[in-house]
Structure 1
Amino acid sequence: MSLTVYLGIDVGSVTTKLALVDETGKYVDSVMLKTAGKPVMAVQTGLNRLYEKRITEYDVKGVGTTGSGRALAGSLVGADVVKNEITAHAVAASTNIPGVQTILEIGGQDSKIIILRDGIVTDFAMNTVCAAGTGSFLDHQAQRLNVPIEEFGETALRSTNPARIAGRCGVFAESDLIHKQQLGYPVEDLLYGLCQALVRNYLSNLALGKELLPTVSFQGGVATNTGMVKAFEEALNTKIVVPENHQTMGAIGAALLAMENHQYTETPTKFKGWNVAEMHFSSITCACTGCSNNCEVITIVEGVNEVQHVEKIKDVKGNIIARWGGTCGRWDIS
């Protein structure tokens, strides 16, 4: 007996997440792995891991992709729905957290804030420029202070006199942290001071002019850090909800969107099957010379395992399954 499921894939610059929900929207399973600059391999490995964990056969009725690599992932697996991260996180939160009105999301390389009213996104903001407060920045500072990232939050919570760290910029934050370290501040005070600084940065950059009402959900990998959770609770003077599957909420949202799409349209899925994990793909990038924009156009070729060196887009050989990147859409294939 097979289980009807919907697959969601969230391809980020640091991690790739895959999640399954059943036909009622209930969470089934998920996996998370490092993208490591190889999104195609990450998606394929994730598919393998998810399928190997099964306790029954899966009947995939729909697939959704999200994240910075959503177009690529959608082309590889045959997605029915390709949506941005704002939509995916909002759907996952509104489905799983009753009364959620504010979503704080911090990932490996960027951060977002989403305002919901009655389950509808009314406002949002993204920060993809400043690294301060992202997972990668926290990883780097923990490593520099010789604290395992898994112990960052627990160590920060032991602080009794947090150091005042300048958090407006990642460069200044690191410089100030080093200065305070040289003054002899205890590690726990440095770490929690950093948490407070990064929360101030986040709120001043993303939440300015927005009404942050409870219930507040904290999503993304950084929500694992209990020091950041406490700093947000102090700054907002409210309880922060960290969902059980906070790291995979984007993938869960993509799966829920695929479910909604299938149940509304009743169309067969485009999913190419679990054997996508064993197929060969190559990505070829070259410039379009059709106008002065010189757009970089990306072509995904199936069944080719070697790198092609081409100067013209029309010279790409093989079974082309997707192409995008041009401003005018001349070369787009999806």
Structure 2
Amino acid sequence: LGETEVIAVGTTGSARFLAGVITGADMVKNEISAHAVATIKEFPDVSTIFEIGGQDSKIIIIRDRVVVDFAMNTVCAAGTGSFLDHQAERLGIKIEEFGDYALRSKYPVRIAGRCTVFAESDMIHKQQMGASVEDIIRGLSESLVRNYLNNVGRGKELLPRFVFQGGVSENKGIKKAFEEAIGHEIYIPKHNKVMGAIGAAILAHHEVKAKGKKSNFRGFEVVDKEYYTRTFYCNGCSNNCEIYEIREEGKVLARWGDRCGRWTGTFQVHL
């Protein structure tokens, strides 16, 4: 990347600790905080964030620019990007056109959206009964939104402004289904697919600036090195913590996962 100056590095997401060790992150932050920070930056008056990615979905409740509640669905894949990709492939259409098909529907069918297996079975049945692809996709979109609101959003006070982000927010059909379900306009950020990364970058910048130090970034050459990971269980006490270890070209870079610090305490890693 030439003479690019890296001021700060932040990592987030399910692999944030691993990525943080490899890159030398100045800040490792959970997805909820990262998404909230980025969204508040673009929409200061946001109250509810719908986030649906490739593997999971989450909802974040914000009041006066502060996260007050959240929920995540990491168990069921129904409604996530990977599930929609699979259905688009099965129907023989491009995922980029999925939403357009839904918007062309005139008579949407009702699809069971609580489970990927049931949803797919229901879609196949509707096809066999003669429903159009457009009506099936619209029905699926509405079903997935109902499932999201009834599970991830259960018990939450949903107030405007509503912001929808994550890869699935590219889907016009899902956006439309959300707007019809909640009765409000849904706003999509300019960089809707990378809001978590933007939030992590903002937090990392604040961290470096507050401490008045240079970034811990280890350089772009880290991509050319070999890494090896392993897990083991600590028998130091009855907790039997599962410890994660990463090595760079044979040298231990970091360990994490213990409750007492027995293993992480031997490494100066900013997690």
Q: Which TM-score bucket, shorter chain as reference?
A: over 0.9
1-structure distance, mates of 2:73, 2:153: 11
User: 3-state DSSP class of the match of 2:229?
Assistant: strand
Is the 8 Å Cα contact of residues 166 and 192 (structure 2) preserved in structure 1?
A: yes
How much has 1:136 moved relative to structure 2?
A: 0.8
- Partners of 1:327 and 1:139 lie apart in 2 by 39
Runs of 4+ in 1 over 6 A off after TM superposition: none
**Residue 124 of structure 1, CA deviation:** 0.6
* Structure with greater strand share of residues: 1
Distance 2:262 2:142 in 1: 48
Equivalents in 1 of 2:14, 2:67: separation in Å? Answer: 20
Higher RCO (CA < 8 A, seq sep 6+):
2
Following superposition, the deviation at residue 289 of structure 1 comes to 3.9
Structure 2 residue aligned with 1:74, among 20, 33, 36?
20
| 1:224-258 per-position Cα deviation (integer Å, ceiling 9, x unaligned) | 11110100011011111111210010000000001
User: 1:329: how far off?
Assistant: 3.6
Give CA-to-partner distance per residue, 1:11-39, whole Å, 9 cap, x none.
xxxxxxxxxxxxxxxxxxxxxxxxxxxxx
Q: CA deviation at 1:291?
A: 4.6
The residue that corresponds to 1:330 in the other structure is 262
**2:130 corresponds to which residue?**
184
User: Any idea what SS the aligned residue of 2:8 has?
Assistant: strand
* Percent of residue pairs identical: 59
1-side partners of 2:63 and 2:171: how far apart?
27
CA RMSD in angstroms comes to 1.5
State the shift of 1:277 in Å. Answer: 2.0
Q: How many residues align?
A: 266
2:245 to 285, 289, 299: 299
Equivalent of residue 252 in structure 1, options 195, 198, 203? 198
Do residues 266 (structure 1) and 212 (structure 2) align? yes
Q: 1:92 aligns with which of 3, 13, 38?
A: 38
1:279, CA displacement in angstroms? 2.1
- Give the conservation status (yes or no) of the 8 Å contact 2:44–2:65: no
- CA positional deviation for 1:154: 1.0
Q: Which runs of 5+ in 1 are unaligned?
A: 1-50, 305-317
> In structure 2, what is the equivalent of residue 105 of structure 1?
51
Structure 2 residues without counterparts, runs of 5 or longer: none
Corresponding position of 1:130: 76
Deviation of 1:293 (Å): 5.0
1:319 aligned residue: 251
Superposition pairs for residues 187-198 of structure 1, below 5 Å? 187-198=133-144
Secondary structure at 1:59's aligned position in 2?
coil
Deviation, 1:98, is 3.3
Specify the alignment match of 2:97 in structure 1.
151
Whole-Å separation in 2 of the counterparts to 1:116 and 1:327: 30
Give how far 1:262 is off: 1.8
Q: For 1:109 and 1:329, how far apart are their aligned partners in 2?
A: 31
- SS of 2:9's equivalent in the other structure is strand
